[in-house]
Structure 1
Amino acid sequence: MTPNGNGELDAVYDNDLPKGAPPRRSRRGLVILLLVVILLAIAVYSGIHGRIEAEHVLAQTTEASAVPTVSAVHPDVGAPNEELVLPGSTQAITDTPIYARTAGYLKRWTSDIGAHVKKGDLLAEIDTPEVDEQLRQMRADLETAQANLKLADLTAKRNEDLLKTRSIATQERDNAVGAQAAAKANVASKQADVARLERMQSYEKVYAPFDGIITARNTDIGALIDAGANSAARELFHLSAIDRIRVFVSVPEAYSRAVHPGDKAKVTLDEFPGEAFQGILARTSNAIDPASRSLLVEIDVDNADGRLLPGAYAFVHLSLAKPMKSVTLPSNALIFRKEGIRVAVIHDGKADLVPIVIGRDYGDRIEVVSGLQATDDVILDPSDSLITGTAVRTEAPAPVGAPK
């Protein structure tokens, strides 16, 4: 070995290597090349793995965002409904308009609104000059017909006597008898006309058909009264009997089997706070109204003191024979489909559209008497496209103290 330079020293080293072994410079190049290949493989692997991981994360994010996030609530458990309170309206036990039966001009009236009248009391009087004139003429025609009948009777009797002596022919006797029969028929016809006009004349006076209160007067002195011959008749008075009051209320179909005629009921009104009027369930319509899905019920209440007025808004308290368990939930949880009312309940992370039976409507909340349990998770504000089997994610509740 000589210190002349790196080349000579390397030559000496290379000469020292055994025969068949690669030179030291070649081995170092192979190592460097191998390291470069390994580094390139690691870089390629890292790039491919990073891209695959990013695509996987993107797929998971896309799938997660496709699942709608919904808000869910549990229905509130209501107490047993031992009493059902429903809105109703009051009506008089008997209520009728009063019309004129003859045409003319109103001569006078005797009762105004609010007047208490008895059956048969005079309410108004109508001046009917045309009817009076027709009656006078018809009575004169009746007298003429009666005179003709008297003459026909005498003629028929005389001809009957003459026929016995063969003084006249049988034909003449028969003619006299026929004239007598025609005269009788004419008298009967005139009598019927006179009776009809006398009835029309009696309609000049308008009487109360039952005991009650005048609630409307739609005419005045001198007004033209048309009995409906040329146009629709106009109501003169309106009469109501309020010694008993009928209260009509619509009972939801779910409670229709719990009400029966003869049951007791209470009626309350806002103008009588803290006071209840006792009534009896008189009758039901025995049919469910397909539009409102309710049963029409009539409650009769004694009103001898006249405190209750027809047309008032009232609340009817019905005692149910069998208490019914129910739950309430917000009204924005309802889904209206052609099959009926549904709510969306979450089962195993998926929506399930469940049919329900509605009880009372409280405005912002709805009573459900069948189809839901208190432990069900009901979706609020469900979308119109929501169907059974749709995957949903429940919105996490806000932490305590978080701003709303």
Structure 2
Amino acid sequence: MSNQHIPVPMVDSHQFRRRLIKQGIIISVIGIALAGMGIWQRSNATTQLAQVAAQSAIPSVSVITAAASNETDTLVLPGNLEPLNSAAIYAQTNGYIKEWLVDIGDAVKKGQLLAILDAPELLHQLAQAKAAYATALAEQHNAQSMADRATQLMKRDSGAISRETVEQRVRDAEAKKAAADAAIANVNRLESLQAFTKLTAPFDGQVTSRTAQIGELVVAGTSSAKPLFTISDTRLMRVFVHVPQHYVTQIRAGQHAELSLPEHSDKTFPATVTRSTRAVDVTSGSVLVELQADNTQGELMPGAYAQVSFTLPNTQDRIRVPGSAILYRDQQPAIATIDANNIVQLKPVKIGRDEGTRVEIVAGITATDRIITTPPDAIRSGDEVRVVE
């Protein structure tokens, strides 16, 4: 078998080199294009990310427009009920409780007997005082008789008695009279104390406390003395309310109010403003106001707690905002408002009354302000916000 030779074509080295260069250029262009596209995509993604981040940095807020309230203002404040008159009945003399005739809750009339004290020591003192008065009176009569006789003898000018003796007997009679007067004054004092063994009601009312116990020793005139009874006139009740200074000018004598008590949840009681202290308490910043309420039915109790509702004159300069709109900067209340460009401005405000879900603003904002309902804690004046519906 003979060997066959396959012819090998001859390749032009220059042509081959140009082809390689051309292919390299094409690959390079493609590579540069791909790299440029990657760079462009990355740059575009970075720009979009920056835009998203910038948009995310702008807080979204809800906004309302402030408006003056046309509602009738009702001011509700706590009050305490007290009787029109109340008297603590103390013992005026030492003694033992012999008998008590009334108890708590009893109605009493003026002058009615409440209790009787047994004062044996006082009785002994009174007996001694009467005996001393009788002795002093006898001595006065004797001294006066001797002075009268001496005076008569002096007038006869018989020389039976000297002028000095007459003057001495007259002065002695005057001294004895003074002693008798002192003795009867002591008798009267002790008789007055004896009258104090019967404790009586100073006015018509109701017994609201009693500490007297049968056989108990009471000592009068000491710092530890306690009242045996308390009598209260509850036919008309006094209601005391501390009104904040801001509302004082809207509370006037003759103004009507309503009382709400927890034990009478189904009804209210009318009351009328009678007077005020017309002085602001420096501690609470309020003025004490008194109202009176009829209690002929006896439904109101002394010492009770009540909610007092005042109907205030309607004013157009008060704005109510959600309680969540209030911020506190340096312990001062403020509200975040925005302008036409959604730029924040914090405005210090003065709060009139906190109603819980709403707060009454009496100064600091106007009825045209746009108010952020729930501002972020970190919000500051000059910040930009995005308003959402």
TM interval, shorter chain, is 0.7 to 0.9
1:247 is matched with 239
1:195 is matched with 188
Q: What are structure 2's unaligned runs of at least 5 residues?
A: 1-11, 15-20
8 Å contact kept, 1:81–1:324: no
In structure 2, what is the Cα distance between the partners aligned to 1:204 and 1:336?
65
User: Relative to 1, partners in 2 of residues 1:284 and 1:118: Cα closer, same or farther, differing over 3 Å?
Assistant: same
Moved more, 275-284 or 112-121: 275-284
In structure 1, what is the Cα distance between the partners aligned to 2:330 and 2:212?
52
8 Å contact kept, 1:70–1:380: no
- Cα deviation, 1:208-228, whole Å, max 9, x if unaligned, reads 011111111112101121213
In structure 2, what is the Cα distance between the partners aligned to 1:381 and 1:140?
92
**Normalising by structure 2, what TM-score?**
0.75
2:128 is matched with 137
Structure 1 residue matching 2:370: 3-state secondary structure = coil
Superposition deviation, residue 326 in structure 1: 3.5
8 Å contact kept, 1:254–1:369: no
Superposition deviation, residue 241 in structure 1: 0.9
- Cα deviation, 1:5-37, whole Å, max 9, x if unaligned, reads x99x9xxxxxxxxxxxxxxxxxx9xxx9xx9xx
Taking only aligned residues, the RMSD between alpha carbons, in angstroms, comes to: 4.2
Question: Equivalent of 2:83, from 92, 99, 116?
Answer: 92
2:5 is matched with none
8 Å contact kept, 1:343–1:355: yes
- Cα deviation, 1:123-146, whole Å, max 9, x if unaligned, reads 111111222211111221111211
What does residue range 198-277 of structure 1 map to in structure 2 within 5 Å? 198-229=191-222, 231-273=223-265, 275-277=267-269
1:158 is matched with 149
User: Relative to 1, partners in 2 of residues 1:184 and 1:234: Cα closer, same or farther, differing over 3 Å?
Assistant: same
| 1:356 to 2:378 alignment | no
Superposition deviation, residue 115 in structure 1: 0.4
Which amino acid letter does the alignment assign opposite residue 187 of structure 2? V
8 Å contact kept, 1:251–1:296: yes
- Cα deviation, 1:93-150, whole Å, max 9, x if unaligned, reads 1122221111111111000011000000001111112222111112211112112211
Q: What are structure 1's unaligned runs of at least 5 residues?
A: 1-5, 10-27, 398-404
1:120 is matched with 111
2:6 is matched with none
Structure 2 residue matching 1:311: 3-state secondary structure = coil
Question: Equivalent of 2:319, from 324, 327, 343?
Answer: 327
Which amino acid letter does the alignment assign opposite residue 126 of structure 1? L
Which amino acid letter does the alignment assign opposite residue 184 of structure 2? Q
Which amino acid letter does the alignment assign opposite residue 350 of structure 1? V
| 1:303 to 2:295 alignment | yes
8 Å contact kept, 2:351–2:359: no
2:171 is matched with 178
Which amino acid letter does the alignment assign opposite residue 299 of structure 1? L
Which amino acid letter does the alignment assign opposite residue 192 of structure 1? A
Superposition deviation, residue 341 in structure 1: 4.3
Superposition deviation, residue 273 in structure 1: 4.9
Which amino acid letter does the alignment assign opposite residue 311 of structure 2? S
User: Relative to 1, partners in 2 of residues 1:341 and 1:99: Cα closer, same or farther, differing over 3 Å?
Assistant: farther
Structure 1 residue matching 2:231: 3-state secondary structure = strand
In structure 2, what is the Cα distance between the partners aligned to 1:386 and 1:100?
69
8 Å contact kept, 2:62–2:388: no
Structure 2 residue matching 1:233: 3-state secondary structure = coil
In structure 2, what is the Cα distance between the partners aligned to 1:324 and 1:224?
66
Structure 2 residue matching 1:377: 3-state secondary structure = strand
1:109 is matched with 100
In structure 1, what is the Cα distance between the partners aligned to 2:71 and 2:373?
25
In structure 2, what is the Cα distance between the partners aligned to 1:391 and 1:262?
51
In structure 1, what is the Cα distance between the partners aligned to 2:304 and 2:150?
78
8 Å contact kept, 1:253–1:288: yes
In structure 2, what is the Cα distance between the partners aligned to 1:386 and 1:172?
109
| 1:167 to 2:174 alignment | no
8 Å contact kept, 1:226–1:234: no
In structure 1, what is the Cα distance between the partners aligned to 2:293 and 2:280?
24
User: Relative to 1, partners in 2 of residues 1:393 and 1:291: Cα closer, same or farther, differing over 3 Å?
Assistant: farther
- Cα deviation, 1:163-217, whole Å, max 9, x if unaligned, reads 2323222222222122122212212222222222111111111100111111111
User: Relative to 1, partners in 2 of residues 1:171 and 1:117: Cα closer, same or farther, differing over 3 Å?
Assistant: same
Superposition deviation, residue 342 in structure 1: 3.9
Which amino acid letter does the alignment assign opposite residue 257 of structure 2? A
Which amino acid letter does the alignment assign opposite residue 123 of structure 2? D
In structure 2, what is the Cα distance between the partners aligned to 1:238 and 1:338?
51
8 Å contact kept, 1:351–1:392: no
In structure 1, what is the Cα distance between the partners aligned to 2:135 and 2:329?
80
Structure 1 residue matching 2:175: 3-state secondary structure = helix
User: Relative to 1, partners in 2 of residues 1:139 and 1:341: Cα closer, same or farther, differing over 3 Å?
Assistant: farther
User: How many matched pairs?
Assistant: 365
User: Relative to 1, partners in 2 of residues 1:312 and 1:392: Cα closer, same or farther, differing over 3 Å?
Assistant: farther
